Amino acid sequence: MVRLSRKTWPGVYIFNVIYNIYMLSNNNSHRKLFIRGPISVYQFFEFSKYGINAARIFMYIRMQEGILLSEGMLKPKEHTFIKLDNKNLESIALVHKSHKWERLRALEENGLIELRTAKGKAPEAKIIIPSYH
């Protein structure tokens, strides 16, 4: 039996919520959603410190990077800027636009992501926190 300290259980909970929503769902619309690994547990835990929406943003970015990697447009263990438009972020990652900016600003201020923004355009985010694996 593994005991979880108070500091680790939120990350485990968030991962289980995401796993239950996407991996155990019988909904065929989520069949195209995958995350090309390996996923850094350190990165995931750091994002999870800022709430469920921050962890969902992390998983969305990694999912989009996985698509680019499988198409040969991105090298393994490399990060790139990913567009975070409201429609896809809400339908795929369940992050509402009212929560998106709040989390993006917190993540940028704490050095987890780099943001590129332009007036009237969807923001682009790049993971900059090291993976340590």
Tell me the pLDDT tens digit for each residue of 42-96.
Answer: 899 999 999 999 999 999 999 898 888 888 888 877 889 999 999 999 988 889 9
- Residue 48 φ/ψ, nearest 5 degrees: -65, -20
**Is the link from the previous residue into 123 a cis peptide, with omega within 30 of 0?**
no
Domain chopping of the chain, boundaries: 9-127
Q: Tell me, what's the pLDDT at 132?
A: 76
pTM for the structure as a whole? 0.74
CA distances from 11 to 3, 41, 48 (A): 14, 9, 6
